[in-house]
A and B are shown apart, each in its own frame.
Chain A
């Protein structure tokens, strides 16, 4: 059984308040892993970091050996920062040169000045993007590097035709020669690095929640987040979003592949609803469902994206005994389909006979992990839950 999910020293702090401290956690293929802990222990924060709704401030998450949250080494951060600063300085010098060489020759003086300001502001925007490891920042850098290269070559070859620097009267080539010497090689080097993928590999990218869902991680929410004004069937169809391929053109021309895909999705959606026992209510609005049914619809929607890992955030909250036993049967049926399940839950009865492995969180720190029985008798868990010195086991 290979490990499907590995979380190494994950920590998250909201400016001073540290919600998670150095969490290390594993989930094996086809296993049901439980996470319990008192309110405010950071359980939901862990789920949100896992699906990158929050940016974790440290540690690494790997799903099927692929890094969801890249481990950012300090050296890498410093290199990126210095590269961003250099780019920033080059930008500041580049724009006055751009103005001075272009404006005298053109009729549209105002437009060129505005263009220069626009380019300068894009460069500021770019430096911010670099600092936060955004992927589009590298694309933009590529464009600017080429333009810097082009201009340094043009300036060096047209030294004589350049007039004075605007507003100062100093001949322009006093500036363009050093610029060409610095910018030219630097641009060539960085472009080659980008092309040879070295710099890009060094630079881990952070995946958004939708990319993580595409990888095969689906989740439900603590307070139900359904599309209440849409029909139950549509809610599940949205779950199928990652599995469908039709683009704008396919939709507009109603191509055969698009129609087939819709038909298939409709059939699959019905199957999902039948799986969670909601096929009778397929055409009612999601808002009209009872509380228990809404919980199950959310699970159906999560299953619709055909996940390998399902995250359930307090699925049994507010359910009576009969509903929670149905829920247990449903989760066991899910496990038979080979889907790993990660559950956050307070209802011990549900956790104890479901979870193969349980992790206990308290104030953002992992205080215990093991099978259901070990947890039941573990003194630290009891103390965390019931507080004070009472020794009898939690029922």
Chain B
């Protein structure tokens, strides 16, 4: 009896998936293992970013177009800290998360009173301003010269170099973020967010302080984005303002829309499918049509909203499954 229950339990499904991922570096892929590993590391990084962004549109129903601003803030925090003070990744991650949360609150507090559309535009303005500051404040970020020479992360003194080490590191980060997001989802905070998403007026009358919970959602989402940025800087060893353009926000938004806004499994699935897709397209598409990839992402957004707005793993079905599971657990 306990085994059937276990089989359907989402936690078990995630754990087995991650266990399978751990085997990936040892699969016999021959020459292109590193290339495959690098693509999968990017995919897992975008999974983390998508989980972070999912908290704002997915849980609370607010469209956040400025997510790449926090991603950039996290990356530059990590880059600058490791160049000037040579801190290790384990010190930088919490600092980057705090910095992201700080900026999330500074942006969120005054703007979360606005209606949906205006809020989306203000977050968009914020991320463009972040890119401008990153590009023009030479004294801080060396502007368009970028930040080369960021030291790679090191565990117990051994600096990580090969791709499978980075892959395991990003898997570890994914598990931490997954833990955080699932705990939040099934807690008082998560229910308050879902209430805000379903019906703000009713949520208010149930005692949910709208502004406070929206700002908390925004701050947590920003800190996860900044953490992703911190890893990215350490992994890439070079960051440049043009890497944090508006397009990244659209790509991450596309992941959660494709996967299913509000459902954790859907967001992860979305990232797992769409990110490697761009590499496959690079091999398939002829030389000239190279930026046709962005065309396809734009199309995905339009078609998904048209025919399946709830995404691959609809939030409603996930809730029903969760409720069924709770019922069975109660009967045992």
Q: Do chains A and B touch in the complex (CB under 8 A)?
A: yes
Q: Of all chain B residues, which has the CB nearest A298?
A: B202
Q: Which of A238, A252, A282 contacts B327 (CB 8 A)?
A: A282
Q: Given A228-B198, A251-B188, A285-B323, answer yes or no on A238-B183 (Cβ-Cβ < 8 Å).
A: no
Nearest Cβ on chain B to A196's Cβ, whole angstroms: 28
The complex places the Cα of A230 from the Cα of B197 at a distance, in Å, of 11
The complex places the Cα of A178 from the Cα of B280 at a distance, in Å, of 71
The complex places the Cα of A125 from the Cα of B140 at a distance, in Å, of 30
Please name all residues of chain A whose beta carbon is closer than 8 Å to the beta carbon of B204 when the two chains form the complex: 53, 208-210, 213
How many contacts between A and B, using CB within 8 angstroms?
Answer: 112
| A213 B187 Cβ-Cβ under 8 A | no
Please name all residues of chain A whose beta carbon is closer than 8 Å to the beta carbon of B173 when the two chains form the complex: none
Binds B, one of A87-95, A167-175, A218-226, A372-380: A218-226
Binds A, one of B116-124, B233-241, B287-295, B313-321: B313-321
The complex places the Cα of A354 from the Cα of B52 at a distance, in Å, of 51
| A252 B180 Cβ-Cβ under 8 A | yes
Please name all residues of chain B whose beta carbon is closer than 8 Å to the beta carbon of A238 when the two chains form the complex: 191-192, 194-195, 203, 206, 208
Q: Which of B180, B192, B323 contacts A233 (CB 8 A)?
A: B323
Q: Of all chain A residues, which has the CB nearest B189?
A: A251
| A231 B210 Cβ-Cβ under 8 A | no
Within 8 A of B (CB), among A209-249: 209-211, 213-214, 218-219, 221, 225-231, 233-234, 237-239, 241-242, 244, 246, 248
A76 at the interface (CB under 8 A from B): no
| A210 B202 Cβ-Cβ under 8 A | no
| A231 B205 Cβ-Cβ under 8 A | no
Please name all residues of chain A whose beta carbon is closer than 8 Å to the beta carbon of B127 when the two chains form the complex: none
Q: Of all chain B residues, which has the CB nearest A52?
A: B204
| B189 A248 Cβ-Cβ under 8 A | yes
Q: Given A208-B204, A239-B206, answer yes or no on A231-B191 (Cβ-Cβ < 8 Å).
A: no
Q: Of all chain A residues, which has the CB nearest B210?
A: A210
| A252 B206 Cβ-Cβ under 8 A | no
| B319 A229 Cβ-Cβ under 8 A | yes
Please name all residues of chain A whose beta carbon is closer than 8 Å to the beta carbon of B201 when the two chains form the complex: 53, 221, 225
B324 at the interface (CB under 8 A from A): yes
Nearest Cβ on chain B to A165's Cβ, whole angstroms: 28
Interface string of A165-197 (1 = CB under 8 A from B): 000000000000000000000000000000000
A11 at the interface (CB under 8 A from B): no
Nearest Cβ on chain B to A266's Cβ, whole angstroms: 9
The complex places the Cα of A160 from the Cα of B205 at a distance, in Å, of 59
Nearest Cβ on chain A to B215's Cβ, whole angstroms: 11
Please name all residues of chain A whose beta carbon is closer than 8 Å to the beta carbon of B327 when the two chains form the complex: 282-283
Please name all residues of chain A whose beta carbon is closer than 8 Å to the beta carbon of B320 when the two chains form the complex: 231, 285
The complex places the Cα of A239 from the Cα of B208 at a distance, in Å, of 9
A51 at the interface (CB under 8 A from B): yes
| A301 B206 Cβ-Cβ under 8 A | yes
A305 at the interface (CB under 8 A from B): yes
Interface string of B15-52 (1 = CB under 8 A from A): 00000000000000000000000000000000000000
Q: Of all chain B residues, which has the CB nearest A242?
A: B207
A323 at the interface (CB under 8 A from B): no
The complex places the Cα of A225 from the Cα of B207 at a distance, in Å, of 15
A324 at the interface (CB under 8 A from B): no
The complex places the Cα of A208 from the Cα of B208 at a distance, in Å, of 10
A383 at the interface (CB under 8 A from B): no
Q: Of all chain B residues, which has the CB nearest A220?
A: B205
The complex places the Cα of A226 from the Cα of B199 at a distance, in Å, of 8
The complex places the Cα of A154 from the Cα of B308 at a distance, in Å, of 63
Interface string of A21-33 (1 = CB under 8 A from B): 0000000000000
Q: Which of A226, A237, A282, A285 contacts B191 (CB 8 A)?
A: A237
Q: Given A210-B207, A227-B198, A241-B207, answer yes or no on A252-B183 (Cβ-Cβ < 8 Å).
A: yes
Please name all residues of chain B whose beta carbon is closer than 8 Å to the beta carbon of A326 when the two chains form the complex: none
Nearest Cβ on chain B to A221's Cβ, whole angstroms: 7
Q: Given A234-B191, A246-B187, answer yes or no on A229-B315 (Cβ-Cβ < 8 Å).
A: yes
A284 at the interface (CB under 8 A from B): yes
Please name all residues of chain A whose beta carbon is closer than 8 Å to the beta carbon of B188 when the two chains form the complex: 241, 244, 246, 251, 261-262
Q: Given A234-B194, A238-B195, answer yes or no on A285-B316 (Cβ-Cβ < 8 Å).
A: yes
B184 at the interface (CB under 8 A from A): yes
A200 at the interface (CB under 8 A from B): no
Please name all residues of chain B whose beta carbon is closer than 8 Å to the beta carbon of A219 when the two chains form the complex: 205
Most chain B CB within 10 A, of A234, A246, A301, is at: A234
B220 at the interface (CB under 8 A from A): yes
| B207 A214 Cβ-Cβ under 8 A | yes
The complex places the Cα of A237 from the Cα of B322 at a distance, in Å, of 15
A254 at the interface (CB under 8 A from B): yes
Please name all residues of chain A whose beta carbon is closer than 8 Å to the beta carbon of B207 when the two chains form the complex: 210, 213-214, 241-242, 305
The complex places the Cα of A229 from the Cα of B192 at a distance, in Å, of 13
B209 at the interface (CB under 8 A from A): yes
Q: Of all chain B residues, which has the CB nearest A47?
A: B205
| A227 B195 Cβ-Cβ under 8 A | yes
Q: Of all chain B residues, which has the CB nearest A239?
A: B206
Most chain A CB within 10 A, of B183, B206, B220, B316, is at: B206
A100 at the interface (CB under 8 A from B): no
B216 at the interface (CB under 8 A from A): yes
Nearest Cβ on chain B to A312's Cβ, whole angstroms: 13
Q: Which of A230, A251, A283, A301 contacts B183 (CB 8 A)?
A: A251
| A225 B319 Cβ-Cβ under 8 A | no
A-B contact pairs, 19 of them (CB 8 A): A51-B205, A53-B204, A210-B207, A210-B208, A210-B209, A211-B209, A230-B194, A231-B319, A231-B323, A234-B194, A238-B195, A241-B191, A244-B188, A246-B187, A248-B184, A251-B183, A252-B184, A283-B326, A284-B323
> Which residues of A pack against B, CB within 8 Å?
51, 53, 125, 208-211, 213-214, 218-219, 221, 225-231, 233-234, 237-239, 241-242, 244, 246, 248, 251-252, 254, 258, 261-262, 282-285, 301, 305
Q: Which 9 A-B pairs have the closest CB atoms?
A: A242-B207, A231-B323, A213-B207, A227-B198, A225-B202, A251-B187, A283-B327, A209-B204, A283-B323
